[in-house]
Structure 1
Amino acid sequence: MSRATALRQLAVAGALALTLAGCSGATKAPAAKKPPAAQLATARIGLEKSPAVALTLSASGLPASASGVSGGTGTGLFSPPSFKGTLNASVAGVTGTVAVIAVDQDVFMKFFTPGYVKVDPKTYGAPNPAQLFNRQTGITSLLPLTTHLAQGPTVRSGSDVLHTITGQLPGAAVADLLVVGDRSGTFDVTYGLTDPGGELRSIVLKGPFYAGSISTYTVGLKTLAQPVAISRP
């Protein structure tokens, strides 16, 4: 091989190397996601540190005879566990919208009454909504109890793109939190996390909430930038 040919080959090799180096940023593969358990642990910390959380609740597949909560919307605080909003409730066959204020263990409802009345929500087959925001026993306590974790599909929820994580929860954990549910059963759960960001935005629970039927409860969560004042009426 002549010296001129060798120099030409060297120049071509150098140009090719520079070209590949320049393109490496454009073709770089996206970083792999953390394992599902680690993603949920991070999302839990972020939610629990929020100044306030907007919550929505909806249900489907409930039997006609079900008494309890079928939907709602409001704002919650983690410190102290508090909630203020409205719940769609069925009591003794009567369905209506109930205004609720709950702080720690105290729950006040306005249901066909001129003012708020202190109640025991378990009497109506309903959870204390403030306790959904209890860091030890509330909605976020379900995350580390979830088994058979797996990465699910990416879905769109309004303007958000969510990647999902699926798993299963023991019936006792669900029943302790929501008051209803087969304690010996198993519930499917799907968590929705923002992509990017990894914020917990939804929890979908499906299983034997009521005897003889499979029902679904969907909890929507969104962190708020500012706290909201919630106090006993």
Structure 2
Amino acid sequence: MPLSRPARLLTVSGLALLLVTGGCSGGSADAPPERDISARLESARSRLDDAASLKIRLVSDDLPDGTVGLVEADGFGNHDPAFEGVVTIVGAGLGQVDADVVSVKGDVEAKVGFVPRFTPVDPADLGAPDPAALLSADNGVSSWLTQSDQLTVGEDSRDGETILTSIRGELPGAVVQQLIPTADETAAFDVVYRLDDDDALRDAAITGPF
């Protein structure tokens, strides 16, 4: 499954999910005019969904003893949705296991160690998300931009000469759990998106009980 040069990077760490976009426009040193918050997030989602391919990395820190789940996933993907890379999981009695994983439109196959062939797997059995599902333009991480509520504008920050606007909000746990099976569906997850003045998503942090 050859994929072109990535345009985005996604990282999940511990109780936080960090989405960092690459190849963003430079923006300007002047603060942008006030605009509707929801409209800006819709614009940011469109820009993310228009990316031809993505570089994705997920990391879970300090998993409790006995937990079966994702430790790390690192690879490339696109909006088919598709993913190709290496996934590390931890399971009872197994320790950490590295596997080459290919996922296309819900069909996930893995090859462990020196095993010569890929075999079908169900990520839910391992407490892990389907990496490709995170990249879906319909129901992937980008959809969180338009499902966030309780939106407020935070303080501006700078990345070099670029002024970034912080938008804070909440995501229902049930929405997060659709992609991250270990998320608490009864919780509200705090989210902070940072956009440049062209509404390109520079990064996002989502925290809560994963």
Q: Shorter-chain TM-score: which interval?
A: 0.7 to 0.9
Structure 1 equivalent of residue 199 of structure 2: 198
Is the aligned partner of 1:186 residue 2:171?
no
Structure 2 equivalent of residue 71 of structure 1: 72
Map 1:149-188 to 2 at 5 A.
Answer: 149-154=151-156, 162-188=164-190
Q: Which runs of 5+ in 2 are unaligned?
A: 1-29
Structure 2 equivalent of residue 222 of structure 1: none
Superposed CA deviations along residues 206-233 of structure 1, whole A, max 9, x for unmatched, are 1122xxxxxxxxxxxxxxxxxxxxxxxx
Q: Which amino acid aligns with 1:111?
A: V
Structure 1 equivalent of residue 81 of structure 2: 81
Return the offset for 1:161.
Answer: 6.8
Structure 1 equivalent of residue 139 of structure 2: 137
Structure 2 equivalent of residue 102 of structure 1: 103
* Other structure's SS at 1:40 match: helix
Return the offset for 1:156.
Answer: 6.6
Return the offset for 1:42.
Answer: 0.5
Give the 3 Å change call, closer, same or farther, for CA 96–203 of structure 1 in structure 2.
Answer: farther
Give the structure with the higher percent helix. Answer: 1
Counterpart-to-counterpart distance in 2, 1:98 and 1:76: 16
Counterpart-to-counterpart distance in 2, 1:32 and 1:159: 17
Return the offset for 1:171.
Answer: 0.8
Is the aligned partner of 1:40 residue 2:41?
yes
Q: Which amino acid aligns with 1:52?
A: S
Of 66-75 and 36-45, more deviation after overlay is shown by: 66-75
Counterpart-to-counterpart distance in 1, 2:96 and 2:161: 32
Q: Which amino acid aligns with 2:129?
A: P
Return the offset for 1:35.
Answer: 2.9
Superposed CA deviations along residues 38-92 of structure 1, whole A, max 9, x for unmatched, are 22111110111111112222334543333221332222111x2111122232122
Superposed CA deviations along residues 134-181 of structure 1, whole A, max 9, x for unmatched, are 222211121221111122345577998754322111111111111111
Return the offset for 1:129.
Answer: 1.3
Task: Give the aligned length.
Answer: 179
TM normalised by structure 1 equals 0.67
Give the 3 Å change call, closer, same or farther, for CA 116–57 of structure 1 in structure 2.
Answer: same
Counterpart-to-counterpart distance in 2, 1:158 and 1:64: 41
**Kept in 1: contact 2:111–2:118 (CA 8 A):** yes
Counterpart-to-counterpart distance in 2, 1:159 and 1:91: 45
**Kept in 1: contact 2:154–2:168 (CA 8 A):** yes
Larger radius of gyration: 1
* Other structure's SS at 2:154 match: strand
TM normalised by structure 2 equals 0.73
Give the 3 Å change call, closer, same or farther, for CA 82–35 of structure 1 in structure 2.
Answer: same
Q: Which amino acid aligns with 2:83?
A: F
Counterpart-to-counterpart distance in 1, 2:75 and 2:159: 19
Structure 1 equivalent of residue 124 of structure 2: 122
* Other structure's SS at 1:34 match: coil
- Identity percentage over the alignment? 32
Structure 2 equivalent of residue 214 of structure 1: none
Give the 3 Å change call, closer, same or farther, for CA 180–163 of structure 1 in structure 2.
Answer: same
Q: Which amino acid aligns with 2:147?
A: L
* Other structure's SS at 1:63 match: coil
Give the 3 Å change call, closer, same or farther, for CA 69–134 of structure 1 in structure 2.
Answer: same
